[in-house]
Amino acid sequence: MSPTMGLGLKAKSTKTDADPLENQYQKGVIHLCDSGIKKVPNKYILPVIERPNRNGEEKKVENVNIKLPIIDFAALQGPNRSQVIKALGTACEEYGFFQVINHDIPHDMLHDLVDVVQRFFELPFEERAKYMLPDLRAPVRYGTSFNQNKDGVFCWRDFLKLMCHPLSDVLPSWPSSPVDLRETMVLYSKQTKIMFEILMDAVLESLGLASATVSDDEVDILKQCEEGSQLMVANCYPSCPEPDLTLGMPPHSDYGFLTLLLQGEAEGLQIQHKGKWLTVKPLQNSFVVNIGDHLEIFSNGRYKSVLHRVLVNSSKTRISVASLHSLSYNTTVRPCSKLINEANPRLYKDTDFASFIEYITTCEPKKKNFLESRKLN
């Protein structure tokens, strides 16, 4: 078992040079922690103004938990659907985040998922390194930080990204170790895809698009979602010796329509709400769902993607799994014509997933700068 998977770090040696591990950063945080570091290397130390607890006032704010709106998934398919749709619309407009309870995914499946993901991160580095590929379009990628090719300061995260569509094409490329990883991830990806489609149908209804057909000359957006992209991202945030100096993920928005996050039991996720960073308290057996940039574009700004970040801690490794859903790679996303009028003029350019990939290969991703590049004004 990797030392990072226990309650803290088991130091094997102490590094005292200014930056003695420079050639190790690309190998990931787990690899660094296994070397026995007792301090956060310079490469991971954020400028003071960007640190999670930069002064007393900020620290006070960050101790506040936010109670996200709760959406009863089962009630979406019952007689109270209209009330749930109204609550969903309010959650999307006011928070950009909500939590989903009473979903159909068995608790045992969620437990098995976290277990197999953790065992993947516990594999020897040489096994994980097989999937360290430079191509952002690869069906499977193991990596570190946010974008290790562009980040000036690295974040305290290793990840495994799996493309999930079409499964028959990408599955042979997925890791074959642990032996139950493929089967577990396939089952989970199918369940979250179903949840996404039901939630998107409800989101469209909350926008006044109950038929899901956006206009006579455009195809059914819900059908596009059903045939669209799905990317699963398993995140590992090892215990950190100096958590106030770094972040597990920097402030960012997600690119797609909806992200379904299995947060786990440990706190770490924070969202920016009314200018303050607030911690999302984990709710057992629930999903945190957030609006992505593509849905902000499609809704012409009515529903906005929200900045969020991830804190790390000094006592426990944290695992989370995100399922990001959008349209297919080359399908154009544009503001819905039914949501544009004289009072609400078009705010965004056409875009697609390919444009996002091209953008992040040339720029260091910060906050919502990709979405800003899509705005007409």
Q: Tens of pLDDT along 296-311?
A: 999 999 999 999 999 9
**Single-letter amino acid, residue 172:** P
Terminal-to-terminal C-alpha distance of the chain: 52
The 10 Å Cβ neighbour count of residue 210 is 12
What are the DSSP calls for 249-262, one per residue? Answer: EEEE--SSSEEEEE
If one compares 327 and 1, the residue with the highest pLDDT of the two is 327
Q: Is the pTM of this model over 0.85?
A: yes
CB of 116 closer than 8 Å to CB of 181: yes
Render pLDDT for 51-63 as a digit per residue (tens, 0 to 9): 997 544 444 445 5
Split at pLDDT 50, 70, 90, the class of 180 is: very high
b/e burial code for range 31-66 (CB count within 10 A of at least 16 → b) = bbbbbebeebbebbbbeeeebbeeeeeeeeebeeeb
Tokens representing 109 are: 């499946």
Strand partners, 133: none
Cα dihedral 7, 11, 14, 19 sign: negative
Residue 13 has pLDDT above 90, yes or no: no
In the chain the domains, ranked by start, together with CATH numbers, are: 3-374 (2.60.120.330)
CB of 302 closer than 8 Å to CB of 343: no
The stretches of 233-367 forming alpha helices (DSSP H) are 293-298, 353-362
Taking residues 259-279, report their average pLDDT.
Answer: 92
What are the DSSP calls for 335-352, one per residue? Answer: --GGG--SSS---B--B-
Split at pLDDT 50, 70, 90, the class of 247 is: very high
Render pLDDT for 113-126 as a digit per residue (tens, 0 to 9): 999 999 999 999 99
Tokens representing 253 are: 């928005």
Radius of gyration of the chain (CA): 20
> φ, ψ for residue 249 (rounded to 5)?
-145, 135
Render pLDDT for 341-369 as a digit per residue (tens, 0 to 9): 999 999 999 988 777 777 766 666 667 87
Identify the DSSP state of 213. Answer: B
> CA-based angle 164:125:236, to the nearest 5?
55
Split at pLDDT 50, 70, 90, the class of 21 is: low
Residue 12 has pLDDT above 90, yes or no: no
